[in-house]
Amino acid sequence: MSLPRLALTAGEPAGIGPELVARLAASDLPADLVAIADPALLAQAARAAGIELSLRSYDGAPVTARARGELRVVATTLSAAATPGRLDPRNAPYVLATLARAADGAGSGEFAAIVTAPVHKGVINDAGIPFTGHTEFFAARAGRDVVMMLTAPGGARNGGDLRVALATTHLPLAAVPAAITRAGLVQTLRILCDDLIAHFRIAAPRIAVLGLNPHAGEGGHLGREEIDVIAPAIGQLRAAGFDVQGPIPADTAFVPTQLQRYDAVLAMYHDQGLPVLKHAGFGHAVNVTLGLPYLRTSVDHGTALDLAGTGRADPGSLFAAARLALALARS
């Protein structure tokens, strides 16, 4: 039996991504690891971290075993030499080229899943390329509506993982209320429920939906989004047979006794739900993109430019992302 093939993107070349990929290659993860990156960059990161890395050119052939330190590479050349910790907009097209290659390969079935190291959104935009994040990039390339969900060990129903999905992703806070619509929430909740069933093998997911405003709007006294938008969307899903509860005030939804009732929480915006999840499991949490025609997982952190090139980057989240991608691919 051939090993499941995971596409690895190393992210921002000046960040810790190349080291994380090298550390993953040095593990005994039973997967065919294929990095889409500049081989010289990976070798440089491995040397700085004291990792023995054996790089091989990727030829598309299946493999039945992988030795520690062995990594196949789809060679993608940097536009400019990378210096750890020093961003260079000239390498923005390189970063996007690695993501595009991974997406195309996963979409065709060449890769069982994509696992991404962190990118730096700011430097890509500084290069004149509009970019809001991995999630939005893969959604646009696939032509799909998607949902960002992060998962961390423990804390949810039946002792399962804590899962927090987002109704909106990388938006300014002032733009969030207008971005929350009944149709959008219905679609998000359907994707969330469908993928929890299909990929996470949860037969009947229970979802907690947070309110947007303090105290879930306090009956309209602190905002009407709950009454006019969120509650009607919940009602539509419940009428269709989905176990969706809310709107629930965000300040009490993450109390342990509440979390034990649910398989996932849908937050209305990025910083409503993710600070709680990252407090619970930072460094071991995984970002999963739901709704794509392929599997994609990622780390729960940024490029950590201050650690780049030091050999001290913590690979925990990338390891967790790879293990989850492998488990989902096998299922």
0.75 surpassed by pTM? yes
- 226 and 117 assigned to the same domain: no
Structure tokens belonging to residue 259: 């979390």
Tens of pLDDT along 40-77? 999 999 999 999 999 999 999 999 999 999 999 999 99
- Is residue 170 part of an annotated ligand binding site? yes
- Distance between first and last Cα of the chain: 15
Does residue 155 register a pLDDT over 80?
A: no
Q: Are residues 172 and 137 in the same domain?
A: no
What would the pLDDT profile of 75-91 be if each residue is shown by its tens digit?
999 999 999 999 999 99
Are 308 and 269 found together in one domain?
no
* Mean of per-residue pLDDT scores for the chain: 96
pLDDT tens digits, one per residue of 160-214: 789 999 999 999 999 999 999 999 999 999 999 999 999 999 999 999 999 999 9
**Residue 284 confidence (pLDDT):** 87
Q: Is residue 284 part of an annotated ligand binding site?
A: no
User: Domain check: are 129 and 155 in the same one?
Assistant: no
Domain assignment present for residue 63? The answer is: yes
- Residue 221, marked binder: no
Do 102 and 42 lie in a common domain?
Answer: yes
pLDDT tens track for 220-243: 999 999 999 999 999 999 999 999
Q: Is 279 annotated as a binding residue?
A: no
Q: Are 48 and 14 within 8 A, CB to CB? A: no
Number of domains in the chain: 2
Whether the pLDDT of residue 156 is over 80: the answer is no
Kindly state whether residues 200 and 264 are assigned to the same domain: yes
Looking at residue 67, which CATH number applies to its domain?
3.40.718.10
Do 240 and 302 lie in one domain? The reply is no
Say if residue 109 is in the same domain as residue 160: no
pLDDT in tens, 276-286: 999 988 888 99
**153 with 132, same domain?**
no
Same domain membership, residue 307 and residue 191 = no
Residues 202, 84 share a domain: no
Which 3 state secondary structure label does DSSP give 35?
strand
Please give the average per-residue pLDDT across 100-128, as a whole number.
98
Q: How confident is the model at residue 24 (pLDDT cuts 50, 70, 90)?
A: very high
135 annotated as belonging to a binding site for a ligand: yes
Percent of the chain topping pLDDT 90: 93
Q: For the chain, give the percent of residues with pLDDT over 70.
A: 99
Q: Is 278 annotated as a binding residue?
A: yes
> CA 249, CA 325: separation in Å to the nearest integer?
32
Q: Reduced to 3 states, what is the DSSP secondary structure of residue 240?
A: coil
Q: Tell whether the torsion through CA atoms of 246, 250, 251 and 257 is positive or negative.
A: positive
Is 91 annotated as ligand-binding? no
Domain span at residue 222 reads 147-280
SS3 283: coil
Whether 268 and 322 share a structural domain: no
For residue 285, is it within any domain?
no
CA distance 301 to 58: 28
